Structures are given as structure tokens and as C-alpha cells.
Structure 1
């Protein structure tokens, strides 16, 4: 394996970032075209959800540095322009344009040239679903002896993803250091506000940025993305907090070096060295901007006192909509800081309040993540979810709205718990082994209806009328979905005629519980709305 000095892969101009254009056609573009043509592109679309999130974070760091928006007036000017101007980008690249070569011998992009003295391993090490050695995943069973060659475009995408999402565990030793902590994005669901075009998406997620004035919060004048920093020297990787927002967006969680060779007329990445990188010692609740946070709760369901807010994370099956209070709604000063939504949503709410965004608009809140095993060392699943973000709800600051949304979510949770008890109580009585599967017939049928609930509540807010109709429709959908799941279970649970009476008894009990849950839900809704009217 060799590293050829003459080989170059310029990430500014080479086609490597996977995108979807406004016609729905997939393509690949370099960083320069991605920004300058962002008004003609729909979105970034990586081969996995963590890759999509990691690429967005990389591009946002570049956007902040090249097109820093320091005031809402500047933001409005960017929003009303048809496209991004070339001049700010070219001015930035005049100073840092040489930092984006994947194979540069002196400072290869997002890599550490000091690792050249370590023998590379297969580049499959970059790809979670191409497992090697003991790193077995559910996706693939590649072995160390398998030969893997990656195109520079694919390798660049996985390089960016590894820095953001690499699991913890043992890596290639570097100066005696073998153990590595989780890359920061593993600890949260990465939240992105998505518009109709990539340009809109970048603007929605581009916070007002002025390091000299410490904007956004916790950003210092020393803030810079990793490619602006000096090349990491040989030695033991350090530990430190983030210097600011673009520093965290491009956090060097691993020291990596790709090796490459000619393969016919093309260049292929044929090896990689991955060692521990910089350990993040800051607090995500203070530094991370693409996440929502909530107060942890104990087994009694009550918030834990004196415990820091924890990031919202994705879970299989049960949708991110269940965290809509934390994701969408403004925190209440009197609540003792029980939740915190992504700062981009606060910014959007302010812009709409001041007439710089339409108040009847609804955007998409997309959340990305991955599921690790119990040891936090192996990727088990990739996760992505979405929920609508109506501006009318983003602007609302009253406690009643949070109570109503929370009550709607609780109804779904309680009905789901009743479903689980339906099966477990029956199995216990019959002394039969539990059979899973009820969740699959219940939870996946709720997200669309919950999205309609949010849109309906937003419409009611704009029209200054109670949210009763939307909440009633939601309650009916939850009840019908739960009963349908229960009936399907009853039809499949019976093995002979002797079971029918037992099943019927448990189904009747379940139906009564669901009916009671719906009645209680309506009582709580009426109480909240009455309190709002009296206030």
C-alpha cells in the first residue's frame, strides 16, 4: 500500500457528496457546487442516516465560516436572495482552499499524516456494516482477510461519518493509547430543520455566527473548523472542551489516515489507520446546537432533581414524535428548565415573529442517529425519523400548549402499555411463553396521525380557536389503532377453542381500559383549555 504524492482528490470540486436535486434525481457534487447550487438542490442524502447527518454538519461548518450571518437583517437578505453569492466563498477559499485535498501529503483533509508510520488495515474499518475482526454487526460479516477498495468519493463520506459517529472501544494503538470514547454524535439525535431546498435548510440551521461576540452561545474567538487548525502533532491525543460551534461540528474524535493506490485508470483507497482522537470534555447541553434536551425522569415518572438535561435520542419503532414537547416547544421559565429545544427553532420563531418568515409555514424536523450495542462499541442499527414543525407551534410560549401535546403523547403511551398487558396477562394465565409483535402493529401507525395533530393544533392557534377538533381526531385514531392491534392479536393468539373464552375476557378488559383512557384524555383536555380561557 502506498501514498502517492502526485495523487489528488479535491473535495471542493470532485463529485463526492450525495445529493437529491429538486427534480428528485440523485447526484454527487463537490463542496463548491453544493453551496453555489444549493438553491437547485433538495437535500443531502447519504447512504446511511449518520452519514447524512455528518455531511450536513460538515457543510454547516463551512457555511458558517464562508457565509457568516451575524444579524437577523443579514439572515433575511440571504433568505430573499435567489442563491448564494460566489464572492464570500471564494474569499474564504483563497485562504483555506488548500485544506480540502483528501490525499494531500502535508495535511490531508480530516486526517493525521503522522500515522504514516503505522501499517494500514482494510478500509472496511470505516464502514460499520462492513464488520472486521471482532467488530461484528447485524449488517455484514466481512473478515480481516477480505480485500476492500473504496473510491475516493465513498471513502471521503465515510471519513466524515467516522469522525462524527464512530463508536467507542479499542482502536489501533497510538503512543500507547488504545481506548477511545464515543464520537459526540452517538450521544444524541442530530436534529435538522429541513426546508424546500438545500439553501433553505442551510439557512434554517445556520445560527447567527460571530465568534468575537460569542455567537452562538459558548462560541469563542478561537472557534474554527478542524481544517483551519494546525495539523495534529505526534503524541498522545488530548482532551478538551469545544472552542465553539464550528469546532464541535467538525470534532476530530479520531486520528485517521487513508492510504490509496492506482487501480487501472482510477485511484482507490486501499487502507486506513484509525486511532483515538481528541476526547470531548465539554457538556453537550451547553455546546451542542443540533439537539433537543430533556430532564431525565425516575422510575416514578417524575423528573430527577439536580440532574443535567440529557439529549433526546432516537429509539427503534417508537417515533421521535413522542419527544415533540422537547423538540418543538419553547421552554417555560417557571418550569425549572425541564427541556430545551434546538436553538435553530428559537431563531425561526423570532424570525417569524418579526415578519421575516411566513407565520403559517410548516417545516420538517428530521432527526438522525444510530443504535449501539450495550458495550457501546458496535453499530446495531441506523435510525432516522421526522416530525412536522409548524411555525405557529414554534412561536407559542404558553404552558397550556405543552400540556396538551404532552397529554396527547401520554394517551399513546398508555394505550401501548395496555396492549402489552393484554398479551402478558393472557400469557400469564395460560402459562404460555410471551410472543412479541404487538408493538409492530401499533406504534408504526401513529406518526402520520400525530403529524396531522400538530398541523391541526397549529391551524387552530393561528385562527384563535380551541384545539379540540384536532385532539379529538387524535384520540379516536389512537383508540382505533390500539383496538385493531388487539383484535389482530386475539385472532392469532388462539390455538384451540378452549382459548376463546380466556381471550375474550382479556380483550374485553383491554377495550374497557382504552375507553377509560380516552375519557380521561378528554377530561384533561377540557381542563387545560378551561384553565387557558380563565387565564
Structure 2
């Protein structure tokens, strides 16, 4: 006769806390040496809460009892391991119930019904227990085996999947068995999923197995313990009922199961099973400690009827949503007036209370692990397993702590940044004549922001575990906002790179109130920058710094020809020994204008105006650098612009877009005509075409004596040779032309004309 007793035989895989080695042990070894083991190693993440609730936690709670108060809990937690008295009591408890933990006992096998059978003596493959194996309608994508392939399970594997089935089994039709009065036609219908499948499971995790056990023990539940399943006698019949206590809840037998072992050359293997209907919860008790809760309306009116329901319902996890994005629910502890509509799990609320009493070290490396199951096709198949793990500062569980408020603010900021990028995408698509991406039809770019921020948030939570001083929190907030703004700007750049290059002036579209409005490239980014600055007040300087780095350029060892003016636009004093100062001679300007129809170094007389060093390698090939081409073009345009002018047409700090905006507002020319010319220039992708259009625009600027910054213009021409730089230059141009209104009627100071840096 096969025998596999879970008390002594190895089936729990545990990692040694000191060496990290993984070893398989029985229940007795795991509990008696819980302080020496770290984490449970499982086949599937959802096995962890199943093993903890179905086996380890109820044994500890039933054998040692619940901590009577917070001081007793703190005393037991501080031990770091079970003391001698507790070890003796655990050993005696396991010895008393040893027979009920035999996996293959013929009369009362663990978590099974010994004589379970169908009327025809049928069994099914063991894959029925394994959530990730192909069986019936539950066929994972790209599965390497079919239902016809046998899946031999070792006794240890069978034990782990057995308790997993009681917690997470699908809601499919179950086999009808002899003795089940509700079975019809050899099957039972209406089965709900396993009890954990109806929850969003939340478990606090400690440094060792012992710590994890204590972290998951509620305080003061001695009057609501109930009875574990191994103290009950189960038959094939089942019922719909309420739980009689925490032990009953944790060891709930949602299925009637029998494992059918067979002898092989490698030892006993489970290849066939029977899985039938089991007990059904009449209501999920509000004392369930391993889930957060969503506040429900006490009464809901449907048509003419008013239905009453529990004021709380379990909060299930959202697929694809990281755990930290749900911290508003996990931190909805007692006394928190900022988070409404949620209540955290009883265990996390308990830890917050212990920390407030000074009985739980706020620097403890607490982790929170979440588990869930996503079912499909009427909950009859498993579509996905939801699992996440994050560090959580203990101080964040205190409603009045600075860390608590900061963590909630950081999560809210991340969501707002994602929304800001989504709206930027919508605005850019409207400017291109496209419809915004529907929120429920595809992945929106804001999700990329949240993905980029994910490691930063987890590092932040880990860092806040080490210190909760006000100064540390303030520095952490500044560092977080700087990191967040950098990540957001990178995603925004990728969103901009995904739209056509002909976006500039935008298109008219109807708003929600029915009015027509025009939304261009500059408007889109100006609004986006405003949103970023409002969300991240500490990072405004960093955002402006990141934006200002989009301006190409580097210092020159020689003074550019047009650098003849001071910051106010006045000519620098003429020095006979340095002939570059003072108003430019007319013959120099005439020579530059001849350069409008030539390329760099084709007009040798202009070489004395160039400042960039000749690249010998390029010169041997008969080529000039992009920088030299850009400087030549800027000099030629400067010669055209400065012709017959007493004042300098080079003015540091006045971008091309600002100058053209003033041209548009001057009134001498039609605003529509100027818009058309500017749009034609800004949307070209060929540098030669850009120069041709700039020539006409500069000539118009000359007629109203409007100066501009030729250093910036030179680098804009340089940027036009490269797509990524061209896009950034076009964005800056659009911001200046479409949005920049500061001091339109006078020359703006040099330090205030970067539209990307001053968008707010």
C-alpha cells in the first residue's frame, strides 16, 4: 500500500535563509525550523497562498492559538523562531493528527474523500489538477502536450496541486459521483471557482518563513477559530454554507477529490484523479484576512427594485496592472481620510496599528505579494495567473505618517503622467487629422510611462524602508520627481516620433461644446508641458533642463561673424585691431548674399567668415561637414537680413518662431499668408527646400526690421539634416510660433525665449 505522509515526507520546497539553497522538507521540519528557512519555492505563484492557507497557517493557529493582543504578537514575532514550548506543542499536534496528513490513506486521505468514485468507475488525467496543463477546454497557448498525454505527478507535486485545486479550481462542470444527491446525468453544474479565485489575494511576506507565518496571523480571533478540514469527516455530499471560523475558511474544501496513485519503476505516481463538486460559500466573510475591499453601496436600485448587498466586496486584481498602482487600496488603513471607497486587508491594517504602537519596527523589510487568477469562458478555463511582489515601507501603513502621504502622492503622480502622455498623443493625432486612440481598443502610450516608472517606484519603496526621517522623505520626493519627468519626456519623444512629420499648423476640429478650434504642434506640447509642471512641482527645473537640451549647439573657439552685438542688441565697440566688431561692412554683406546660391567653400572669399575647423578626411573626399554647411547658409541669410540696416538683425535669444510670430502680428502682411509660408517651411524634410523657404521668410523679416538669433538659426539648419533632430527643432519652432506670446511688441530678454523651458 502506498503511503506519503505530509508531516515527514519531503514535499515543501524551501530556500535556506543563510545559503539560499533549496531543499524539500515535510511539514514538521518546515515549522520547527521556520526561522532558518526563507521563502517557499513553488511551481506556480498561486501555490504559495494555497499551501499557506490550506496547511501551514491553520496548523500554527490551531496548535498555538491566536495572539491575544498586540503585545503578545510582538513578543512572538521578536523571537524569530518558535520557542521550545511552541515547538513541543507543534510536534504534539502533528503527531496527534499524523494519520490525517497521509496523502494516500485508504479511508481518509489528506484533503480528499477516500471512497470517491463515479457510477462507472471512471477517472480523469491528473492534468485536471494542474492549472497550467492542457485538459478539456483549458488548453494553454503553445502547450507542448495534449490531454491525451499522461502527466505523472510525484506525490510531492500531487500534494501541492491538490491544495491549489481547493483554492483556485475553475468553475467548469464537475464529475458527478456516487453519494452526491445533486449530481444529474453524471455531472454537477453551477460550481463556482475556488474561493481564492473570487478574491484579489494580498499576503505580507517576511524575511523568513517564521516571520511570514506571524505576519499572516490575525490578532484576537480566538473566538472565531472554527475547525480545520482534517478534524472533519468528509463524504461525497456537499453543501452551501457559511464558514464557522478562520480555520474552516483557510482549509475550505471547495472540491471533493481523490488521487489515484500507481506504482512505477520510479516510485508511486499520480496519473488519474477524480474532481467532483465541493462545498460552496454562501457569502465571503468580511473577516477574510487576505484581501483588500472595495466599498459597496449598501443598497442599489435596479429598475423599481432596491437590492441590498454587503457594504464591502473583495477587490480583485486588474490584469496588467502592477501592484504599486493599487497602493491607494492597500494603504486604505484605519484613520485614512484621503482614500475613500477602499479598505485594506485586515493583516496590513493590523501591521499599521502595530507600527503606530511602536511594536513593529518601521525599518523592517516588509514585502507584499499579490495573487489572482483570470478566468475565461464562463470561468471554465484559466486565461492568466496574476502575481506581483513589491517592498512596502512599514511607515506607509500609518495614516498620519509623511511616508504614507508621499507614497500615495507618487502613485497618483504616475497615473497623471500617463494621462498627460495619453492626451499629448490625442492632441498630436488630431493635429495630423487622425482620431485619438480609443481607450478600450489598443494599448495607449501612457502605459509605456507606467512601465518605464515601474522600477523607479519599486526602488523608491525599497529606499523608504531604510529611513523615514522628514529630510529623507523630502530628498526622496525630489529624486522621484526628477526620475519621473525624465522617463515621461522620453516616452513623449517616442510618441512625437510616431506621428507624421507634416504636423505643424494642425487642423480644425470640433470640441465637446460644438465650437471649432485649431490645435497645432506647439499647442499640443505647450499643454503637455503645463500638465507635467502641475503634476511634478519639484521637477519643473529638471523638466526645463531636459527640454532645453533639445537645442543643438556647442561653443566655438572663434567668434561668429554675427556676434557683434551685446545682449541688448547694441553694436559692440569698433576696434581697429579686431575688425570683426562694429557694424558689418557692406562689401562683407554683399559677399554673403552671393553665398545664397552656392554651397560652403564654393565661394572662397567667404572662407574668412567660417569658424568651424576643416575636417581633413572630409576635404580629401571633396565634402564639407554639416556644421560648415549650416554656418554657410546662416551667413548667407544674415547677409540678406542685415542689408542696409543700421541696427543689428542678429539678436541673441530670439528664436525663429518668435521672430515669425511678430511678423504675423505686425499687420503688414496677411496672417493667413504668413501661416502658409511658415507651415510650408516647417514641414519640409529637405534642407535645401528649407533654405529656399527661409530665404523668403528672412526677406519679410527684413522689411519690418525684426531681428532673430542667427546662432540658433544655424543650429536649426544643422538639425534639419537628421530626422530626430529635425523633429525636435520643428517642435521648438512650433512652440515659439504658435504659443510664445511673451513680450511680442518688444525684444525679449535672452534668458526668456526658450519656449520648451518656459512652457509653464
Q: Normalising TM by the smaller chain, what interval?
A: 0.7 to 0.9
Q: Distance in 2 between matches of 1:33 and 1:405?
A: 39
Determine helix, strand or coil for the equivalent of 2:116. Answer: helix
Q: Is the 8 A contact 1:373 1:379 kept in 2?
A: yes
Q: Distance in 2 between matches of 1:106 and 1:515?
A: 71
Q: Distance in 1 between matches of 2:425 and 2:464?
A: 34
Q: What is the Cα deviation at residue 322 of structure 1?
A: 1.4
Whether 1:475 aligns to 2:472 is: no
Determine helix, strand or coil for the equivalent of 1:83. Answer: coil
Q: Is the 8 A contact 2:154 2:270 kept in 1?
A: yes
Q: Is the 8 A contact 2:426 2:436 kept in 1?
A: no
Instruction: Decide whether aligned partners of structure 1 residues 348 and 333 sit closer, same or farther in structure 2, where only a CA change above 3 A counts.
Output: closer
Whether 1:446 aligns to 2:453 is: yes
Determine helix, strand or coil for the equivalent of 2:117. Answer: helix
Q: Distance in 2 between matches of 1:241 and 1:516?
A: 54
Q: Distance in 2 between matches of 1:274 and 1:490?
A: 55
* TM-score of the superposed pair, with normalisation by structure 2: 0.60
Q: How big is each residue's C-alpha offset from its partner over 1:201-229, in whole Å with a ceiling of 9 and x where there is no partner?
A: 11111122553xx2xxxx25xx0221121
Q: 2:535 aligns with which of 521, 525, 532?
A: 521
Q: What is the Cα deviation at residue 80 of structure 1?
A: 3.4
**What residue in structure 1 maps to residue 96 of structure 2?**
95
* TM-score of the superposed pair, with normalisation by structure 1: 0.83
Superposed counterparts of 1:232-243, under 5 Å: 232-235=234-237, 237-243=238-244
Q: Is the 8 A contact 2:334 2:399 kept in 1?
A: no
Gaps spanning 5+ residues in structure 2: where?
Answer: 178-182, 298-307, 508-518, 540-760
Q: Is the 8 A contact 1:331 1:338 kept in 2?
A: no
Instruction: Decide whether aligned partners of structure 1 residues 386 and 499 sit closer, same or farther in structure 2, where only a CA change above 3 A counts.
Output: same
Instruction: Decide whether aligned partners of structure 1 residues 209 and 45 sit closer, same or farther in structure 2, where only a CA change above 3 A counts.
Output: farther
Q: 1:67 aligns with which of 64, 78, 83?
A: 64
Q: Distance in 1 between matches of 2:248 and 2:521?
A: 56
Q: Distance in 2 between matches of 1:126 and 1:262?
A: 20
Across the aligned residues of Structure 1 and Structure 2, the Cα RMSD in angstroms comes to 3.3
Report which of the two structures shows the higher radius of gyration computed on alpha carbons: 2
Determine helix, strand or coil for the equivalent of 1:160. Answer: helix
Determine helix, strand or coil for the equivalent of 2:366. Answer: strand
Instruction: Decide whether aligned partners of structure 1 residues 291 and 498 sit closer, same or farther in structure 2, where only a CA change above 3 A counts.
Output: same
Q: How big is each residue's C-alpha offset from its partner over 1:239-294, in whole Å with a ceiling of 9 and x where there is no partner?
A: 0111111211111111111101001140000111111111111234x131011123
Determine helix, strand or coil for the equivalent of 1:53. Answer: helix
Q: What is the Cα deviation at residue 335 of structure 1?
A: 7.5
Q: Distance in 1 between matches of 2:212 and 2:425?
A: 44
Superposed counterparts of 1:227-306, under 5 Å: 227-230=230-233, 232-235=234-237, 237-284=238-285, 286-295=286-295
Q: 2:35 aligns with which of 33, 39, 46?
A: 39
Q: 1:349 aligns with which of 338, 352, 358?
A: 352
Q: Distance in 1 between matches of 2:469 and 2:349?
A: 22
**What residue in structure 2 maps to residue 3 of structure 1?**
none
Gaps spanning 5+ residues in structure 1: where?
Answer: 1-5, 298-304, 526-535
**What residue in structure 2 maps to residue 530 of structure 1?**
none
Q: Distance in 1 between matches of 2:143 and 2:109?
A: 29
Specify which structure has the bigger relative contact order, considering alpha-carbon pairs within 8 angstroms and separated by 6 or more residues: 1
**What residue in structure 2 maps to residue 130 of structure 1?**
133
**What residue in structure 1 maps to residue 388 of structure 2?**
385
Q: Is the 8 A contact 1:137 1:378 kept in 2?
A: no
Determine helix, strand or coil for the equivalent of 1:385. Answer: strand
Q: 2:364 aligns with which of 361, 364, 369?
A: 361
Q: Distance in 2 between matches of 1:507 and 1:480?
A: 21
Q: What is the Cα deviation at residue 132 of structure 1?
A: 1.4
Q: How big is each residue's C-alpha offset from its partner over 1:423-451, in whole Å with a ceiling of 9 and x where there is no partner?
A: 45555655589664746633223233224
**What residue in structure 2 maps to residue 19 of structure 1?**
14
Q: Distance in 1 between matches of 2:105 and 2:520?
A: 68
**What residue in structure 2 maps to residue 179 of structure 1?**
190
Whether 1:105 aligns to 2:100 is: no
Determine helix, strand or coil for the equivalent of 2:6. Answer: coil
Q: Distance in 2 between matches of 1:136 and 1:126?
A: 13
Instruction: Decide whether aligned partners of structure 1 residues 359 and 412 sit closer, same or farther in structure 2, where only a CA change above 3 A counts.
Output: closer
Instruction: Decide whether aligned partners of structure 1 residues 439 and 382 sit closer, same or farther in structure 2, where only a CA change above 3 A counts.
Output: farther
Number of matched pairs: 497
Q: Distance in 2 between matches of 1:507 and 1:25?
A: 57
